Amino acid sequence: MADKNHDIIEDLKNRKETLWLNPDLIQVEPAFKLEGFGYVHVRAAQNRFMRYLPFVAKTFPETAEKKGVIESPLIPIPKMQAWFEKEGLPMKGRLFLKDDARLPVAGSVKARGGIHEVMKLAEVLAQRAGLLMPGESYEKLASPEMKEFFGQYTIQAGSTGNLGISIGRTAARFGFRTIIHMSSDAKQWKKDLLRSEGVTVVEYDGDYSSAVAAGRKASEADEKSFFVDDENSEELFFGYSTAAVRLAVQFSKANILVDKDHPLFVYLPCGVGGAPGGITFGLKQKFGNNVHCFFAEPLEQPCMTLAMASGKQDQISTSDIGLGGRTIADGLAVGRASGFTCRMMEPLMSGAYTLSDEQMEVYRKALWQTEGIRLEPSACAGFLGAAMMGSCNDGVEQNQTSAWRAYLEDHDLLDKMDNATHIAWGTGGGLVPESQWED
């Protein structure tokens, strides 16, 4: 395995699209325990979202129709699946898009994690001050008096864009002073959106890790400042994990089975790792061995693939192997993976793969032309995994899919692929301005 991983790291260095399969993947049953964490932590985060429904409905009017529920649709995309077949990749099973670009408030997968962490902080502060008593409606937290109370505190975070929008918009609506430290990869429209909400945006010439480090240092200098640490936050992680609870409900309504004869494959674009890691943890809690989660990363910034293949986790950066250039996948432009997520994913993630910016653009264009759905480039990274895994059959050349096929053989899944469900997780793009789409 060491030699194989050496080859993978060489492929990463040479910017070659590659697939890493996790040799440490373990068998788990639903509601398992890992590192002291379990389904109780997923439910706690979900229950917090439920308590906040009246606050969200009042504070973000776009959620009022759904009474404050922050969720995205699960969309069958048969026309996109047919497009893959025309491209020589006939997929077995059914292809879906989990369209987190349509998540209210943030327009990306970061909605669940970022909103959850701000909610937890506001809840704790209000309760400690005796301003929120058991049984009171959380709508109270939207009052002018509570905004004045929260205004004495500051929330800060480092971001390439989407997490900053999630935390920035939410914290600002509570009334917190909010500062987002943004790396050079962040799109200008994301900075403009935050500033329009009254958020202070601090820009850096460096990468994501340098923005996080600067934000952390600035926050430590202020005793009333709280730093949302995307690299280590448990509250972000378990906020993301609640996606699994909602997805299970959507499966039930759509009559989608997930069991040993009906496997579920999920392909998750990955930056620092918190969002795909949290989602994977939640899905494994719900479906155990019957769900298989793969992380997708750009060729220039494959921090999670490098972290796991090398075994060094957060002790290695893409810059250490000569990578770290620009990518259109700004939400995935991270050089060093989250240490917490690496530890949690070591026994749970099925693998990780890389793809080029050009591939993401091809999928983005195809999704728009076939299904009329808009995503930002990074949100399309999951489609390569779906195409490769779904087309592991005798009709496709082995050199294209041999590594993917090996995974199916090792897990006794080849004869079950007709019943498989493939989900490409569309992680962002819902708030992209119309002018950007026209460009």
Q: Could you read off the pLDDT of 14-62 as tens digits, one per residue?
A: 999 999 999 999 999 999 999 999 999 999 999 999 999 999 999 999 9
Same fold, 2-106+237-438 and 110-232: yes
pTM for the full predicted model: 0.94
- Selection from 179, 158, 160 nearest residue 168 by Cα: 179
Average pLDDT of the residues in 275-290: 98
Tokens of 263: 């496997």
Average pLDDT of the residues in 285-313: 97
DSSP track, 102-167: G-TTTSBTHHHHHHHHHHHHHHHHHHHTT-S-TT--GGGGGSHHHHHHHTTSEEEEEESSHHHHHH
**pLDDT at residue 2 in the model:** 47
Looking at CATH, the fold of the domain delimited by 2-106+237-438 is given as Rossmann fold (3.40.50)
In the predicted structure, residue 295 carries a pLDDT above the cut 60: yes
Average pLDDT of the residues in 117-146: 96
Query: C-alpha distances in angstroms, 44 versus 235, 282, 335?
Result: 10, 12, 31
Who has greater pLDDT, 101 or 184?
101
User: Which positions ≥6 away from 241 have C-beta within 8 Å?
Assistant: 41, 42, 45, 278, 279, 281, 282, 285
**pLDDT at residue 396 in the model:** 46
The residues with which 158 forms a beta bridge, in sequence order, are 181
CA dist 26 and 39 (Å) reads: 17
Average pLDDT of the residues in 417-439: 85
Single-letter amino acid code for the residue at 181: H
What CATH number should be reported for the domain whose range is 110-232? 3.40.50.1100
Kindly state the helix (H) or strand (E) to which residue 291 belongs, with its residue range: strand 291-298
Average pLDDT of the residues in 358-375: 96
CA dist 334 and 159 (Å) reads: 10
pLDDT band of residue 183 (cuts 50, 70, 90) is confident
pLDDT band of residue 90 (cuts 50, 70, 90) is very high
CA dist 277 and 293 (Å) reads: 9
What residues does each domain of the chain span? 2-106+237-438, 110-232
CA dist 287 and 244 (Å) reads: 9
Average pLDDT of the residues in 358-386: 96
**pLDDT at residue 52 in the model:** 98
Query: C-alpha distances in angstroms, 82 versus 180, 379, 382?
Result: 41, 20, 16
In the predicted structure, residue 398 carries a pLDDT above the cut 60: no
Q: Are 155 and 171 in contact (CB under 8 A)?
A: yes
Percentage of residues of the chain with pLDDT beyond 90: 83
**pLDDT at residue 399 in the model:** 47
Kindly state the helix (H) or strand (E) to which residue 352 belongs, with its residue range: strand 351-355
Average pLDDT of the residues in 283-301: 98
pLDDT band of residue 63 (cuts 50, 70, 90) is very high
In the predicted structure, residue 161 carries a pLDDT above the cut 80: no
pLDDT band of residue 194 (cuts 50, 70, 90) is very high
Percentage of residues of the chain with pLDDT beyond 70: 96
In the predicted structure, residue 338 carries a pLDDT above the cut 70: yes
